[in-house]
């Protein structure tokens, strides 16, 4: 039964990633910066931070964690896409943009995960 939760969540996350990325690419046509994957990975970091904070005081069931954490967020965020887009920037000799993408994604991802965790902990416990 665990696999059903993973498959269902992963399917939803993958469709959400495609729709979100398509929408962002339409909003920023011709941009050399990979805004779609950047936004997806950062928003996924923020959401998982929120859920981790909530999970601290109200532990989610294993099935929910499989469905949402591993499934939806695993299907939604995309490290392989991030790696490939970074490689393409380097291959095109856009070194400054590649470095900006690497640093911004990594640092902002951690910051947003921590912010989500902190906010959800604050809202759920009042501390």
Q: Which two tokens stand for residue 91?
A: 């291959």
For 73, phi and psi rounded to 5 degrees? -70, -30
pLDDT score of 43 more than 70: yes
pLDDT at 127: 67
Q: How confident is the model at residue 6 (pLDDT cuts 50, 70, 90)?
A: very high
pLDDT at 58: 85
pLDDT at 124: 85
- The arithmetic mean of pLDDT across residues 111-127, rounded, is 90
pLDDT at 78: 84
Q: Buried b vs exposed e over 8-44: b needs ≥16 C-beta within 10 Å?
A: ebbebbbebbeebbeebeeeeeeeeebebbbbbbbbb
pLDDT tens, residue by residue, 55-91: 888 889 999 999 999 999 999 998 888 998 999 999 9
Q: What percent of the chain has pLDDT over 70?
A: 99
């Amino acid at each position: 039964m665990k696999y059903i939760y993973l498959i269902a969540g992963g399917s939803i996350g993958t469709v959400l990633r495609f729709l979100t990325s398509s929408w962002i690419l339409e909003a920023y046509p011709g941009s050399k910066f990979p805004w779609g994957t950047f936004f997806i990975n950062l928003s996924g970091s923020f959401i998982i931070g929120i859920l981790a904070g909530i999970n601290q005081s109200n532990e989610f069931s294993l099935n929910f964690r499989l469905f949402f954490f591993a499934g939806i967020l695993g299907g939604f965020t995309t490290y392989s896409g991030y790696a490939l887009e970074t490689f393409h920037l380097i291959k095109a000799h856009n070194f400054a943009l590649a470095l900006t993408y690497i640093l911004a994604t990594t640092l902002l991802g951690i910051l947003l995960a921590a912010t989500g965790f902190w906010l959800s902990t604050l809202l759920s416990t009042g501390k």
